[in-house]
Amino acid sequence: MSYCQELAPATILFFAPPYYPAINSTEDDLIQEKIKLTQETLKKECDVDAKQVHYFNGISDLSYVNYDKHDEGWRAYKLNTPAWGSVYSIPFEGMQKLQAPVLNIGPFGKDAHKLTERLHKESAFVHTPLVLRKVVESMFVHYMSV
């Protein structure tokens, strides 16, 4: 409002950066394969029954590699972000071309990004590294055989 000299009632609408679009790769065959590998590894190696959870609990850099190629919502975001082009921009069109499926594997915890945040140590420092190693190694095996 400091830039507007109007004295009448007003509604101000703008979006502040950063923007992370919601994405979902659940239906991707490769992702389903890696979810199964993750669950099998956790059961066999750690006796942990893991289940797939469909949620977006926060912002993620993964959003930048699988942005819906049919989504035009970024145009409204671009038009309503005051600093667009001068101090902030996102390569939306490039993101839409990439279309890489994503899977977020991480440790169990509670209250992420809050003062009460806590992390299950065994999940973070034993289970997650084990699963990540297996999934990454399986990607190399998969693509080396193609």
- State the average pLDDT over residues 22-42: 92
pLDDT of 57 strictly over 70: no
Look at residue 91 in the predicted model and tell me its pLDDT.
Answer: 86
**Is residue 59 very low, low, confident or very high in pLDDT (cuts 50, 70, 90)?**
low
pLDDT of 47 strictly over 60: yes
- Whether the link from the prior residue into 107 is cis, omega within 30° of 0, is no
Look at residue 112 in the predicted model and tell me its pLDDT.
Answer: 79
**Is residue 134 very low, low, confident or very high in pLDDT (cuts 50, 70, 90)?**
very high
pTM strictly above 0.75: no
pLDDT of 73 strictly over 90: no
Look at residue 4 in the predicted model and tell me its pLDDT.
Answer: 67
Half-sphere exposure of 143 (CA within 13 A, CB side): 6
Look at residue 43 in the predicted model and tell me its pLDDT.
Answer: 97
Q: What is the token pair recorded at 56?
A: 């977006």
